[in-house]
Structure 1
Amino acid sequence: MSQTSRSPFALVLAFPVLLSGCLTVPERPSPDTAAFETPEYQAQKGLAIVKASSLYARGGTGQGVAVALIDSGLNSSLPEFQGRLRDPGFDYVENQVGTIDRVGHGTQMAGILAANKNDQGMHGVAFNAQLIPYRFGDDNEPFFFDSEIAQSWQAAFEKGTRILNNSWANAIPATEINEARYKQVMPQSLITARKLVENGAVFVFPTGNELKREPLAEPGLPVAIPELEKGWIAVVALKNDGSAINAKSNYCGLAADWCIAVPGGDSGAGQGLLTTSKDGKYTQTAGTSPAAALVSGALAALQSRYPELTAQQVRERLLSTANRTGIYANSEAYGRGLMDLDAASRQVPKVLVK
């Protein structure tokens, strides 16, 4: 959820780990990260905080993995997205194959997710992943576009995508949502989400930008509908240095069990995350939207590191290896902790591979 619009998209981070009774074996030696810590890498300040270079050094850059981008569209003609499209997707505003992006939000999220590593500007967290973009209404609450969102999710899943980035949320507090009310607000989306989670999809949502102690409707939805939890991640936004929640992010709150914290930029000159703009330049973005895109990209990069795991197993890996030391032990604010791609990309116990 970026700071520049009132569209639906504006409503809205080195020890062995014991998992399933099996101790992971530390990597030997430590991965050679220096080759990946380029000016592009340093320009996107969130990457260093989540230790993305360790994941890259272990081979996880997103290759072979596609992410669905359900947003305001994508300017796919930009150099940063050459080779980054698995499929042109669909534009439900223009009713056509392929998308345009009049608002710019979707292109910004796509940059955080998967912009090319090409010695220009910045690169995405999963710079070898691919995108399938979908555009729904630009100017109103998401619940006005329930059908378009549901169709986007279903189409992306049918094209092979198991990671669905949703940098938006309905402006209803999760504490006020129950199954009956959500069926009134997003009936088709709920049916589709249930079906896709049961079949292995992972949905990523931002907690919202109201600086409240509870998230918005979608990130907290598994409270009302528990079977969604295994395919759900809520994302809280930190300052660029990871030192605290930024000046607008909602807390994880009741979504703490499936919530993770990553940099999302902050207000003020030079305080946002650098990303792509729809006109081909680079721009700063801040909020829980780019934080969600960072997590979706991290899932894609981890999936390429662990091709033997399902997307939902990768989700659990990401959550279970988060850093819960210091301030990140506060689960109300930070959920499972700060995303740590060094810890997440270490050797997986064989017991997890089924």
Structure 2
Amino acid sequence: MLQPNTFHFALALTMPLFLAGCLTIPDQPTVERGTFETPEYQAQKGLSVIKASHLYARGGTGQGVTVALIDSGLNTDLSEFEGRIADPGFDHVENRPATHDRLGHGTQMAGILAANKNNQGMHGVAFNAQLIPFRFGDDNEPFFFDDEIALSWQDGFDKGARILSNSWANSIPATEITEARYNQVMPQSLVTARKLVKEGAVLVFPTGNELKREPLAEPGLPLALPELEKGWIAVVALKNDGSVINAKSNFCGVAAAWCIAVPGGDSGAGQGLLTTGKDGKYVQTAGTSPATALVSGALAALQSRYPELSAQQIREHLLATANRTGIYANSEAYGRGMMDLDAASHTPPKLHAD
């Protein structure tokens, strides 16, 4: 996320069996997970904490899944994104197809989400997923760009993305948001969010970087609009070893029922998560923004493990399998717990069929 008073950029299985009204999918054979624990994997420290190699060994790498990245754009000519761009998206700042990333924030989020597994630097959690990047607003509050956000969500959805990664949030506390107030500041986004959630989308948001006990407006929006909850995830950032909440992250608070915790790095040299810089170099990033990108990518990777499930069913399974032991049992801080891709990819989903 950026500084105060600026824009908060926090970007073949068998057929399912229906048993007792629930959807279950048999496990599948695995390959050795150590195969995936390469220097590239170890360099992005959050991957081992969330046990991503277990998911990879079971076939979940993001293959065939598209994510819309609504952020400051993406420098798509970098080698880390070769083959990772499903569509050039749109640059609302320069009003043209394909994006430029002046700030570098979107490119960093894209790296966390889906940078290539190519024996260079690091790789994204869903290294075989596809991205559709959008650029809006750069460094101003999102409500100034309500129409651009709504158009980006809809365009991404129309082009096949059911996971919409949003590493930004308005600075209004979630506890102060009502339907009427949100309709004043983000009317077009509200209409589009309702429509897309009804049609199966999942929107991911950061709780914010103010070290408060409650999240910002967007991550907590289902408090005012409960119908959004089935397509919503709020994300808390842990230190990059997963030990405790980092030095900036807001708690899950009122968003606890749809909130999850993941590494987001921390302040200080070498304490962030390694990702792609806009100039092609590797840089450290920290906060709830990269944590949000990590969860968006995890949804994509898990979707490729269970392709018969909808994005919203994947969302519920990811939340249901989070680690709630020890400190993570504190739902005010950690919501549903710390994301665990071993449990999520090993335990067959038992979800009510749509």
Q: Give the TM-score of the pair, scaled to structure 2.
A: 0.94
Aligned equivalents of 1:337 and 1:20: distance in 2? 27
Q: Distance in 2 between matches of 1:82 and 1:352?
A: 38
Structure 2 match to 1:309: 309
Query: Residues 268-305 of structure 1, C-alpha deviation per residue, up to 9 Å, x if partnerless?
Result: 00000000000000000000000000000000000100
Kindly tell me: are residues 192 and 252 of structure 1, through their superposed partners in 2, closer, same or farther at Cα, counting changes over 3 Å? Answer: same
The residue aligned with 1:99 is: 99
Letter in 2 for 1:259: C
CA contact (8 A) 1:31 1:54 kept: no
| Counterpart amino acid of residue 328 in structure 1 | Y
Q: Residue 260 of structure 1 aligns with which residue?
A: 260
1:85 aligns with: 85
Say yes or no: does 1:140 pair with 2:143.
Answer: no
Contact 1:197 1:231 (C-alpha < 8 Å) held by counterparts? yes
Aligned residue for 2:14?
none
Amino-acid identity (%): 79
1:352 Cα deviation (Å)?
4.9
Partner in structure 2 of residue 58 of structure 1: 58
Give how far 1:139 is off.
Answer: 2.0
Query: Using a 3 Å threshold, how does the CA distance of structure 1 residues 100 and 325 change in structure 2: closer, same or farther?
Result: same
| 2:134 is the counterpart of 1:150 | no
**Aligned pairs (5 A) from 1:187-266:** 187-266=187-266
Deviant stretches of 4+, over 3 Å: 3-7, 9-12, 19-31, 349-354
The match for 1:16 is none
Alignment of 1:321 with 2:321, yes or no, is yes
**AA partner of residue 320 (structure 1):** A
Q: Give 1:8 shift.
A: 1.5
The residue matched to 1:42 in structure 2 has which SS? helix
C-alpha contact (below 8 Å) 2:30/2:57 kept by paired residues: no
- Please say if 1:8 is aligned against 2:36: no
Q: Distance between the aligned counterparts of 1:61 and 1:134, measured in 2?
A: 23
Q: Is the 8 A contact 1:308 1:353 kept in 2?
A: no
Shift of 1:351: 6.0
Taking a change above 3 Å as real, the CA distance of residues 118 and 316 of structure 1, as seen in their structure-2 partners, is same
What is the Cα deviation at residue 40 of structure 1?
0.5
Give 1:32 shift.
1.9
Inter-partner Cα distance in structure 2 for 1:43 and 1:64: 25
Deviations 1:204-224 (A, max 9, x none): 000000000000000000000
SS at match of 1:117: coil
Q: Is the 8 A contact 1:20 1:352 kept in 2?
A: no
Shift of 1:137: 1.0
Instruction: Give the match for residue 273 of structure 1.
Output: 273
User: What TM-score, normalized to structure 1?
Assistant: 0.94
**Aligned AA (2:223):** V
Code of the aligned partner of 1:286: A
Structure 2 SS opposite 1:80: helix
- Secondary structure (helix, strand or coil) at the match of 1:302 reads helix
Counterpart amino acid of 1:51?
K
- Give the secondary structure class of the aligned counterpart of 2:283: strand
The letter of the residue matching 1:129 is: A
Any stretches of 5+ residues in structure 2 without a counterpart? 12-18
User: 2: CA distance between counterparts of 1:149 and 1:28?
Assistant: 39
- Separation in 1, partners of 2:20, 2:49: 28
Residues 22/116 of structure 1: CA separation in 2 closer, same or farther (3 Å cut): same
Instruction: Assess if the C-alpha contact under 8 Å between 2:10 and 2:288 holds in 1.
Output: no
Aligned mates of 2:6, 2:31 — CA distance in 1: 42
- Measure the CA separation in 2 of the matches of 1:83 and 1:328: 37
Give CA-to-partner distance per residue, 1:111-164, whole Å, 9 cap, x none.
000000000000000000010000001121000000000000000010011000
Tell me, in whole angstroms, the C-alpha distance in 1 between the residues paired with 2:120 and 2:3.
24
- Partner Cα distance (1:321, 1:294) in 2: 16
* Unaligned residue ranges in structure 1 (runs of 5+): 13-18
Task: Give 1:114's aligned amino acid.
Answer: A
Shift of 1:245: 0.2
* Structure 1 position 130 matched with structure 2 position 138: no
Aligned residues between the structures: 347
| Distance in structure 2 (CA, Å) of the matches to 1:352 and 1:298 | 22
Q: Which whole-Å CA distance do the structure 2 matches of 1:240 and 1:21 have between them?
A: 39
Instruction: State the superposition RMSD in angstroms.
Output: 2.1
Give the aligned partner of residue 177 of structure 2.
177
Distance in 2 of aligned mates of 1:53 and 1:291? 18
Counterpart CA distance in 1 for 2:47 and 2:252 is 21
Q: Is the 8 A contact 2:236 2:291 kept in 1?
A: yes
